[in-house]
Structure 1
Amino acid sequence: MIRFSEEQAMLLDTAREFCQKRAPIDAVRQAIQAGQPLDATLWQTMVDLGWLGVTIPEIYGGLGLDLADTVPIFEAMGRQLLATPLLASTLAAQVLIANGSDDQKNQWLPKIAAGQIATVALTEANGAWDADQITARLNQSASGEMTLTGSKAFVLDAGVADVILVSALQGESLRWCLVDTGELPDGAIQREVVIDETRRSYSLVLSDLSIRADQILPGTAFKKIELAAMLLITAEMSGGLEGVLAVIVGYLNTRKQFDRLIGSYQAMKHPTVDILMGAEMTRSYLYHAATVWRDETDLAVVESAVRMAKCCASEQFSEAGDRGIQFHGGFGFTYECDAQLYLRRALWSQYQFGDERHQRQKLSALLF
């Protein structure tokens, strides 16, 4: 079942126009060469469009829509390889909405809706994909003092964030801690070198960081936060498939060999059609997952839909990115070829929160 709402249609039109105008491939390359600094003007425009508050309840200054309504925005961003703190801040807002106290929501959700950057530290330094492999610890001393110790990897936009939501274990229970980046010691946040150069990815190392009681979220929901991250990354991957397909088709319709456009050869036509079919299949899985996310209350059903979408996107996007390199011949292996930017994004996204093999293993337990 797929249901495409009026809100999604409106956001898709707006997001596509905005991203195409503000993130042409030349601008993406310039940002990479500059080290991916935060574009404050671009970010403020996104704030003014209301994208930061789409999922935040109206009482906190947001629009009060569902997370599924943000899928078209991330799809449009993925098509243009536009990487902003929107993904990180949206996930942080989801953590607060699901787990925060009234005071914590009142303090932080209006700030996020107004453009303050927040992020989520989900992944352990060892790259583990499952909640039962979390090693970060929230400890309590004999005197009652709470401290947070652990290492996290792939923390998006931590270097420009005002607050980080960190997952940790307290005894056998999973907890979320609000960490103000201004209170961190020097060197706690370090830039990571990742294959996707459009991303700002950081490691976070905490050693006996003092935590106040008001920094600990009372809720312990984790699974749906993990699924939310997968859904939004899948949306970016679906858009990325469209983007790399456009690069491929553009090249096939301009490059000539033996006095013919290479796109006229069946050896090029057939695999290009395969990519188109993969893109359409991925999009169908994505919007099915978004529909289920909005309408279904059974978390197992939601998990199945999201994991199927992530599995399909991981497989199809990485294959399309690889084909994009091959179709460009020797030029495809150079840094100047735009197809490699999409392959880098495909490989980074493929291994965030589990590749297709991991998703199938999880699905086998859910479905059989």
Structure 2
Amino acid sequence: MQELGRLGFSEDQGSLLEVATSFCAKRSPMARVRQLIEDDTGHDPDVWREIVELGWLGIAIPEAYGGAGLQLAEVVPVMEQMGRYMLAGPFYSTTLAAQAILAGGTEDQKRTLLPRLAEGSITSLALCEANGDWDLANITCTATATGSGALRLSGEKRLVSDAASASNIIASVMLDGRPAIVLIDRATLGPDALRREVIIDETKRAYSLSLDGVEVPAANLLDPDRAGAALHHIHLTANLLAAAEMCGGTQSVIDYTLDYLKTRVQFGQLIGAYQALKHPIVDAYVSYEQTRSHVYSAAHCFGEQGVGEIATRMAKAQADTTLSFAADRAIQFHGGFGFTYDCDAQLYRRRAIWHASQYGDAAWHKAKLADLLL
């Protein structure tokens, strides 16, 4: 049986964790998070420029393509702290797009596109469809070759994150009966191609994308022979980074709840003294520590065949369960106020629901693990 459960924490991870903690705490206080809920783009362009200047977009891009030459393991502490402080922005989407090009692009595409992403060119992924299938190879959108050497697309994509802010969108389609990946210049889309969707996590932005009538040059087709492997890589990367974001969110919602338990007085004593509240918050903290171990273990072995997938699915399943429980307890412990939108625990509960809907919830990943382990 393959070895599981190894942990690693590099010097680069430690440095990035320290910088990300300070930056996110300063740039994303909860008051600012709530202000951006009402913003059309959902993020602060000035903060995005600072993120670009910090070089975070290039962390997992090889030096040959303008990046820092590190691994996804070094992206994890950044995502963790973004989740802890709910820092809004297209970092997750653009990082996934870079991984899509690394895993599925031609050499020319890598040399052309990756330096732009490292320099902050916002790019989104259009992989989800109305069927809601977490198997990214289940695609109904199509691409058809035209006589002019272009590809004509059709179909509709759902939950395309940060599409309105993106310069490019990477979409999955079926071409000649096989999965394929194409790059779409957003400037070529018609005025009605994008429609903002109402989603549970209002700190994020998602759009439906109509591909009907959209044409892209044949040069915008990523390597067809690598499309299947690229979709698998994107799927695992998305789950690893989502687990890291949820891990950070769990730490924050536990801290938020503890502050309340240590200040709210009922029947002459602090409510944190009651076992009915004390024990569940301890359970939440224990589960948080387990989640963090899973996340960094998955980051450490992500690139290892077999082991990396198992560790990543374990991390996502654990993170989903942990954040859901911690945020739910926070809402309950805050009483009537907890059921109002003014309670910050609501934002974390919504974040847990959002990530459960993206790339697989805990039950789905556990079913996948059963196939991998048994």
TM-score by length of 1: 0.96
Amino acid at match of 2:191: D
Distance 1:160 1:141 in 2: 29
Q: What SS does the corresponding residue of 2:171 show, helix, strand or coil?
A: strand
1:304–1:363: 8 Å Cα contact kept in structure 2? Answer: yes
Quote the Cα distance in structure 2 between the aligned partners of 1:122 and 1:290: 23
Runs of 4+ in 1 over 4 A off after TM superposition: 141-145
Matched, 1:64 2:69: yes
The answer to whether structure 1 residue 258 and structure 2 residue 267 are counterparts is: yes
- 1:105-120 alignment runs, 5 A limit: 105-120=110-125
In structure 1, C-alpha distance between the alignment counterparts of 2:78 and 2:150, rounded to whole Å: 42
Structure 1 residue 247 corresponds to structure 2 residue 256: yes
Name the SS for the 1:154 alignment partner: strand
**1:313 corresponds to:** 319
Q: Say if 1:217 and 1:351 are closer, same or farther in 2 by CA, change over 3 A.
A: same
- Asked whether the equivalents of residues 156 and 202 of structure 1 are also in contact (C-alpha less than 8 Å), the reply is yes
Aligned to 1:121: 126
Q: Quick one: which amino acid aligns to residue 127 of structure 2? A: L
Determine whether 1:329 maps to 2:335. Answer: yes
Determine the C-alpha separation between the residues in 1 that align with 2:248 and 2:340: 23
Aligned-pair distance for 1:92? 0.4
One-letter code aligned to 1:319: F
Higher mean Cα deviation, 122-131 or 345-354? 122-131
- How big is the shift at 1:235? 0.5
SS at 2:180's partner residue? strand
Do residues 169 (structure 1) and 174 (structure 2) align?
Answer: yes
Q: Which amino acid aligns with 2:158?
A: A
Q: 2-side partners of 1:96 and 1:156: how far apart?
A: 17
TM superposition score normalised by structure 2: 0.95
Partners of 2:298 and 2:314 in 1: CA distance = 8
Match of 2:233 in 1: 224
- The alpha-carbon deviation at position 130 of structure 1 amounts to 0.6
What residue number does 1:76 align with?
81
SS at match of 1:250: helix
**1:142–1:180 Cα change, 3 Å:** closer
C-alpha deviation, 1:145, in angstroms: 4.5
Q: Deviations over 1:330-361 (max 9, x none)?
A: 11011111110111111111121111111111
* Alpha-carbon displacement from aligned partner over 1:56-82 (angstroms, at most 9, x marks no partner): 111222101101110000000001111
Tell me which moved more, 9-18 or 207-216: 207-216
Are the counterparts in 2 of residues 36 and 198 from structure 1 also a CA contact under 8 Å? no
Moved more, 105-114 or 132-141: 132-141
Q: Distance in 2 between matches of 1:142 and 1:36?
A: 38
Which stretch of the first structure deviates more once superposed, 206-215 or 161-170?
Answer: 206-215
Name stretches of at least 5 consecutive residues in structure 1 with no aligned partner.
Answer: none
Letter in 2 for 1:208: G
- Name the residue aligned to 2:9: 4
SS at match of 1:120: strand
1:149: how far off? 1.3
Q: Cα gap change, 1:142/1:48 in structure 2, threshold over 3 Å: closer, same or farther?
A: closer
Mapped pair 1:267 → 2:272: no
Shift of 1:126: 2.5
Determine if contact 2:42/2:204 at 8 Å carries over to the other structure: no
Residues 1-368 of structure 1 aligned to structure 2 (within 5 Å):
1-141=6-146, 145-218=150-223, 219-220=226-227, 221-294=230-303, 296=304, 298=305, 300-368=306-374
Q: What amino acid maps onto 1:360 in structure 2? A: K
Mapped contact 1:116–1:162 kept (Cα < 8 A): yes
Residues paired across the two proteins, number: 365
Deviation of 1:155 after TM superposition, in Å, equals 1.1
Question: 2: distance between equivalents of 1:327 and 1:105?
Answer: 50
Separation (CA, whole Å) in 1 of partners of 2:244 and 2:42? 24
Task: Look up the SS of the partner of 1:133 in the other structure.
Answer: coil
Q: Which amino acid aligns with 2:132?
A: G
Aligned residue identity for 2:329:
R
Question: CA–CA distance in 1 between the matches of 2:167 and 2:222?
Answer: 17
What is the identity percentage for the equivalent residue pairs of Structure 1 and Structure 2? 48
Q: Deviations along 1:174-214, whole A, 9 cap, x unmatched?
A: 11100000001111111111010100111111113212111
3-state DSSP of counterpart to 2:214 = strand
Alpha carbons 2:42, 2:88 under 8 Å: kept: no
- Cα deviation for residue 38 of structure 1 reads 3.4
**Could you tell which deviates more after superposition, 168-177 or 263-272?**
168-177
CA apart distance, 1:140: 2.5
